[in-house]
Chains A and B, each alone.
Chain A
Amino acid sequence: MSMKLKLSAFIGVLLLFMIAPMISAKEEIDRDVLIKESATCLDCHDMAASLASSAHRLSDAKAPMPVAVGCIGCHDGWKVHIEDPSRDNITNPRSLSNFDQAGVCGRCHLNPHQSSMYSSDPHSRTDVGCLSCHKVHDNHNRFLVKDDGDNYCGSCHTSVLSEFKRRSVHPLESGNIGCTDCHYSGDNQDRLFAAGVDWSCQKCHTDQAGPYIHEHPVVYEHLVEGNGCTQCHEPHGSANDRLLKQAGDGICTQCHGVPPLHRTQHSGLGSKMACVDCHSMIHGSNENDKFLDPDLGVKLFPDCYQSGCHDINR
């Protein structure tokens, strides 16, 4: 494809995206009505104080903000309810299905995270809605999540939390990372099917993730097909050191057989060596297509090279 054609296609897609929100036709409440009528709610509902210190602080007509917040923005049926106050004629978003909850929150919070909650996010198919994780009244926490410790996912995913009690773990309990550092619900990737590109690990472990001149395919797979790092590592916690799925050479022999000469030279009593003793650049190498330790010649020069088994240039 020529450069001109590529540029035209890019501009076309960009324009299409930009036009999308302009031609949408959903009804929305006039902001003056929103502020005025929401103040009416406070005549009966003593919520002003609890909302005041939260991110859902009610908008003030005297000091308007670009985005107005009011009770009637979420609670449908308010017109009838003001005339005839009853529990039955006002909508409590908590009683709605997860799809409808996402629709209510999406009136203001329309973003990739929210929209994925009623499309590709696995939560959307499991009756987990916005209010399962967020508490919208009387809450000071970031993003109005229920637990500011960032481990609120654990209230449902209890067996995953138990993985963080194993031998080697990611530092979740010390607060250095949180669930959403890796599981960002909003990139529209379906984790179950691992479709598309997954850069979660690379975000912190850039030194291991490459790209390398000589890629270890399983790591490269992580970059292009998803799921790569987790072929060898348990990301939450493992019974082995360094979050590895298996101890010793098992991690290698789940895919690779041991070459015959290695069997005689490297498996005997006293000469037993682990695969990664020599293949230490196992994530990828810029020097060597066998992922050998670049200092191998210095460490074990007589054994590896003077014996004639290995070529120092490979």
Chain B
Amino acid sequence: MKSIFLFISCGLLLLTGAAAFADGSGRVSVGYTYVDEVGNRSVNYRTFNQYEGVGLSLEKFNYLFDNGLRLKADINNLTMNNRNVVVGLEKSGLFGFQGYNNQYRRTYDFDGASFTRRHRTGGSVWFHPHQYIRVFGGGEYVGKSGNMLPLFDLGGITTPHEVDYTQLCYNAGIRLNHRGGMFQAEYRGGEYHDDINPERDQSRYRINLYGLMPVPRYEWLVLSGQFFHFETKFDETEFMISTNHVRGGAMARPTKRIALNYYFIFDRTSSDNDVVATDNIAHAFYVTYSLAKLAGLTAGYHYGINDDYEDEVNSNAYYFYGWFKPGKYFEFRGEHGFRSENVEDGSRLIGDEDRSRFKLSAKYNRPDQGSISLKYEGRNRENDQLGTEIEFSRFAIDATLIQKSYGTLSAGYAYSNGDYDNLEDNFEFRDHSVYGDITTEEYKGLDGGFGFVYYRSQRDLDVESFTLRFKAGYRFMEDHRFDIEYNVDNFDDFLVRDKYYTSNIVEFKVTKILSF
């Protein structure tokens, strides 16, 4: 696989070198990453996908041929297992292609012997054979393999189990556009193949039709509709689950300031494993009144029925949203949503349920100088019949300071608070995240930066983690750079003895800045 990507990237470079009258930009770099880690490899998510070795990258590459053909590439660590590759080729108004590949490793045990690796490779393509017609398609291949450990040790016995599956998805469709009207038809297919448990092999497809049109002579009224059929089937047992979904909607703007929106949804999901099917019916209405760039207010109502023949649950939801921008730089927002679910017929384990949430935010933003924002969010879920309740709240503040001649400073703090009243016990957590970044502007070829993340979770948990990041760079020979970055990661779970981790990661990189 590595050789294929090396070949592709060398090909890209040669292709661009051969073209005349073109322009482009990008960065080619080669570097080495050194990783030193101690402790439990399965606890610190941020370093799961770190590898030691030589990395070759082509970043932010953009190349325009004289005939309008544009080549793009963002290839990071091509030679390493954490490579992340995106390449694209397009000609504006005619066709486009984009491909990608990346890998992610997840570690499950203390010494890192049990891990899984997921790789994604895919691409998409579109083409305009005519002004009003767009044809598109694509595919993605996902594979995951390795060994996983269960979340808890079963009576002291830790048995890894093997994972090895692949999934191939593909799609193709056509879109017709004409004078504000649109129709799109798309087919999506997928094959899932499990090497460990072949009885779980399954295939699925989805046919999706979508249409939209302004009403002739009443163009302030736009009608839309959607239908899709989705089916998943086990290859071995032929057990099948399918969904038919219909959606219709109307959006009206009788005046510039008022927008009215209505849509309905009907979908039925059924399987051949049981005799029942689940119906979902929904109606939603929104009214928005807005004064362009000054203020707006939206009220919404949603009514839903969830009916699986034996049990029926009805829901009523209300929604309010307001925003206000008193000046060029200030912005205030508020939101409140409430949803009540009632079991009308039959029963369900969690009984009736009420959910509510509200959000408030204020922001001051000057693009040339910086910004500061404050946010508060509260969420609640109550199941009276079951006797459970969840309360969650969060406060966050973020600030950015930009001084063009010196650099940029950004910092943030978030406080979250969760209380879960369960049937048997309670769970509480309070967590704090503090993070910041300082980046300096270049001075005599030198620039630098410092970043940190500190995370602390307390009450029923007792976890602390932090990341420190130091960066320094030097520009030489006009278009070359030498960069060094040093990262420290630390994790401690003070309630579990073997859950600690520290790593030191150093990356050296030499970069050539491309300009054609």
A90 at the interface (CB under 8 A from B): no
B405 at the interface (CB under 8 A from A): no
Chain B 154-172, CB-CB to A under 8 Å as 1, else 0, gives: 1101010001010101000
Q: A91: which B residues are within 8 A, CB to CB? A: none
> A197 to chain B: closest CB distance in Å?
6
Per the 8 Å Cβ criterion, residues 156-197 of B in contact with A are: 157, 159, 163, 165, 167, 169, 175-185, 192, 194
B282 at the interface (CB under 8 A from A): yes
Return the 9 tightest CB-CB contacts between A and B, nearest first.
A24-B181, A65-B93, A21-B181, A26-B180, A162-B414, A17-B211, A159-B396, A67-B93, A20-B213
Contact B373 A17 (CB under 8 A): no
Contact A111 B184 (CB under 8 A): yes
> A120 to chain B: closest CB distance in Å?
6
Q: B247: which A residues are within 8 A, CB to CB? A: 188, 196
Chain A residue with Cβ nearest B421: A254
Which of B267-275, B439-447, B479-487 sits within the interface?
Answer: B267-275
Contact B67 A277 (CB under 8 A): no
Q: B263: which A residues are within 8 A, CB to CB? A: 119-120, 188
Report the number of A-B residue pairs with Cβ-Cβ less than 8 Å.
365
> B481 to chain A: closest CB distance in Å?
20
A82 at the interface (CB under 8 A from B): no
A246 at the interface (CB under 8 A from B): yes
Within the assembled complex, what's the spacing in Å between the Cα atoms of A171 and B412? 20
Query: Which residue of the partner chain, among B98, B214, B423, contacts A256 with CB atoms under 8 Å?
Result: B423
Per the 8 Å Cβ criterion, residues 372-417 of B in contact with A are: 373, 375, 377, 386, 388, 390, 394, 396, 398, 412, 414, 416
Contact B154 A277 (CB under 8 A): yes
Chain A 100-121, CB-CB to B under 8 Å as 1, else 0, gives: 1000001110111001001110
Query: Which residue of the partner chain, among A59, A193, A250, A273, contacts B93 with CB atoms under 8 Å?
Result: A59
Residues of chain A having any CB pair with chain B under 8 Å: 13-14, 16-18, 20-28, 31, 52-57, 59-60, 63, 65-69, 95-97, 99-100, 106-108, 110-112, 115, 118-120, 124-127, 140, 142, 148, 158-159, 162-163, 165-169, 171, 173-176, 188, 190, 192-193, 195-197, 199, 203-204, 206-207, 210-211, 213, 217, 223-225, 239-242, 245-250, 253-258, 273-274, 276-278, 280, 286, 293, 295, 299-300, 303
Main secondary structure of the interface of A (DSSP, over half): loop
B130 at the interface (CB under 8 A from A): yes
Chain B residue with Cβ nearest A116: B224
> A307 to chain B: closest CB distance in Å?
14
> B46 to chain A: closest CB distance in Å?
7
Q: B463: which A residues are within 8 A, CB to CB? A: 167, 239
Within the assembled complex, what's the spacing in Å between the Cα atoms of A190 and B261? 12
How big is chain B's contact interface, by range?
A: 35 or more
Which of B8-16, B31-39, B238-246, B504-512 sits within the interface?
Answer: B238-246
B128 at the interface (CB under 8 A from A): yes
Chain B residue with Cβ nearest A109: B177
B475 at the interface (CB under 8 A from A): no
Chain B 412-451, CB-CB to A under 8 Å as 1, else 0, gives: 1010101010111111010101010000000000000000
Within the assembled complex, what's the spacing in Å between the Cα atoms of A168 and B273? 36
Q: A245: which B residues are within 8 A, CB to CB? A: 418, 420
Query: Which residue of the partner chain, among A119, A162, A286, A299, contacts B155 with CB atoms under 8 Å?
Result: A299
Query: Which residue of the partner chain, among B49, B133, B142, B200, contacts A174 with CB atoms under 8 Å?
Result: B49
Q: B185: which A residues are within 8 A, CB to CB? A: 14, 17
Contact A148 B251 (CB under 8 A): no
